Each structure stands twice: as structure tokens, then as C-alpha cells.
Copies of this chain bind each other. A is one copy, B any other.
Amino acid sequence: MAELEAATSKVIRSGCYLHGPETKAFEEELAAMCGADYAIGVSNGLDALRLILRGYMELGKLHKGDAVMVAANTFIATVIPITEFGLIPVFVEPDPLTMNFNWEEALGILKDNDSSQSPLNIRCAMITHLYGTPCWNRKAADEMHGRGMMIVEDNAQALGAEAAEEGFNGVRFTGNLADAAAVSFYPTKNVGALGDAGAVITNEADLAAVVKALANYGTDKRYHNLYVGYNCRIDEIQAAMLRVKLRYIKNENIHRQKIAELYASKITNPLVEVPAIFPDMVQVWHQYVVRVPENLRDDIRDFLADGDIPTDIHYPTPPYCQPCYASIYHPEEDTVAIKLANSCISLPIANMTAEKVSEVSNIINRFRS
């Protein structure tokens, strides 16, 4: 807290509030942490995704009417930029074990599309490392790249996570697995700003340049508008606070891993399925999401609330069931995403202690249908 206050006071006194030294240093430190060539601080995670897609469109790599694969159970921010730019979302159901984008199903969709009478031009896959669990399949990603597709990571929830090593060339960090990645620093994130902030991470120099321009009204130099851009800048004050927070990300993630392991060992109620811990990857547990029978979900949440345990649902409604998308997509049955939405409960994971985990687990273990 004192460190954060000192960092903000320094910025306030500096008189430089945008595009200054804190942003520059933050971008360098974030890129270095992920082993990437470029990190561009931006206004928030949704804008980071918007800037990546708009960037690819300006570079001629994506065109209006192209299709983009996206996880059916992601937060709606992953889908918004697709439809905003006149691209067509192709929803990929999650793998029930990882709760992430199902790569095998995605490859199946691509093959079906090949032999379709009116194939979509599927040019991109947006994968979400949901809840902090890396979503990565090197072989499937290679096949997509072989088709000339781009892969964009929604790394809003998984900064510091590491994918399984098998088949890798040393790169493990989410945010630097695919072609470009968006990061969110929403305050509740493992690395949270004190307000909204985000970043784009990439190794592509041309994408980095266009994202940087688009985020500043489309200017490549002052008052010279190469693109019709946006204002998606990160504040110096947020960059300064994130530089403080980045120093603690490793400890924060390790702490959450311990809490997740503790939950897994303590929760023994057979009605409750705890999330899988994958020994070959590093999960960072932005959320700790258990699954319960759909018809008991509300009862279990009430039971926990009676014991003063706050819970949440991430997310109650898949994007394709939201009213804003009612006109473009109608799932015809109970999809995997809908079933997950109806059966998931997020248990407390931030600022937890071993004692508190025992308390939550004891309450949940006492629940009977």
C-alpha cells in the first residue's frame, strides 16, 4: 500500500500523465516477463483484444466477413471485438476437463468447414486461458498456422501461467505462446491495476506499430492520422502501480497454487467436482471454479452464503445466450458451455489463508442434497 502511494505521488508530481517514463518501463518489464519482443500498455483488456483484431485488419490479414473461432464459455469481452468489426464468431465448445477452448473440436470444425457447400473463411482463433489455466495445444496450433490462421490469446486471466512443455521450443508463458495476446489488469486480476488497464503482447513488429498508432487516435506521429483510431492509452499512474504489482506476481501466483491444492485436498463432498490440477503446466488460479449438479447449484451457494462465504458464477450466461447476440446465434440444445454455466461456482481464491480454505471446505463438505 505504501509502495503504491509512493508510486502515484511520484507520477502526480512529475506532471507527465500519459505516454511517459512509467508506461515505457512498464512495457519493457512486461515484455521481458513474458519473453516477448513487444508489450504495449493500453486502456483495458477488451481494448487490447479490439486493437489486435483491428490491427490485423489494417495489416490486411483479416477482412470484414472473415470468421474467428472463440471459446463458447469465455467472458463476453472476447466476443465483442469479433462482432464489432464485422467478423463472424465461430463458437468452440469448451473441453469439460480444462474448461477451455476444445482444440480437437476446433480442428473438427475446420475440417467440416473445408467440405461445406458454403464454407466460412476462418482466419483466426481466439483462445482464452480461462480462470488462469493455459489453453494450449501445440500440434493443433501448428495445424491452424499451417492453414494461414492467426491465433490470438485472451490472456486476461492468466498472466504468469505456463503451458505444458511437451512439443514446445522453450516458450511456456501464456501471452507469448501464439501470435498476439491481450492482457487485462482489471483490479481483481492476479495483477490488478487501481482502475482499468491492459496490454497487448506480441513478437510481430508490424502489429505492435499499428496497435500503438490505433491506441492513440491512429497517429503514427503527432497530428498525423494514418488510421481512424481510438483513444486506448494507459495512464502513467496505472503503469506506475502495475510496475509495483508486477514485482509480486510470482508470489501471488504461487500463493494461489497452494490455495488451489489445499481446496483440492480438503473438499471431499462427492456432489462437488473440483477443478483439475495439471502437473505439466503452471495454472495461476484467477478463479477457483468447482462444478456441482445443476439442480443443486443455488442451494449450495445459499448454504455457503449462510456460512458467510461469498461465491460467484463465472459466467452465468455464455455469450451466445446473451440478449445482444440473440439475433446472430441460437444454440439448439444444452451445450457444454451452457451446462458449465449452470453448474459452476467460483469459491473465494483471492487473499485466502489455509484456515479460511478449511472453513470453506468444511461448510461445503457438510452440504447434503
Which residues does A use to contact B, with CB under 8 Å? 1, 4-5, 8-9, 11-13, 17-18, 43-47, 76-77, 80, 83-84, 187, 192-196, 217-218, 223-231, 233, 235-238, 313, 315-317, 319, 322-325
Contact of A17 among B8, B187, B225 (CB under 8 A): B187
A46-B231, A196-B235, A235-B195 as given contacts; A223 in contact with B8, CB under 8 Å: no
Give the shortest distance, in Å, between A209 (CB) and chain B (any CB): 15
Closest to A315 in B: B223
Nearest B-chain residue to A50, judged by Cβ: B230
Interface centre among A45, A187, A192, A236 (most CB of B within 10 A): A187
Bound complex: CA A230 to CA B51 (Å): 12
A80 cross-chain contacts in B, Cβ below 8 A: 217-218, 228-230
Interface-centre pick from A44, A77, A229, A235 (highest chain B CB count, 10 A): A235
Majority secondary structure, A binding face:
mixed
Q: A43-B231, A226-B324, A324-B225 are in contact. Are A195 and B238 (CB under 8 A)?
A: yes
Chain copies in the assembled complex: 2
Query: A18's contact among B5, B187, B231, by CB below 8 Å, is which?
Result: B187
A180 to chain B, nearest CB (A): 18
CB of A17 within 8 A of CB of B195, answer yes
Which residues in B have their C-beta under 8 angstroms from that of A9? 5, 8
Residues of B within 8 A of A217 (CB): 46, 76-77, 80
Min CB–CB distance A150 → chain B (angstroms): 22
Q: Report A277 CB to chain B, min CB distance, Å.
A: 27
- Are A196 and B233 interface neighbours, CB within 8 A? yes
| Chain B nearest CB, measured from A10 CB (Å) | 10
11 contacts between A and B (CB under 8 A): A5-B9, A8-B12, A8-B237, A11-B194, A46-B230, A47-B231, A76-B225, A80-B229, A225-B322, A225-B323, A225-B324
Shortest A276–chain B CB gap in Å is 25
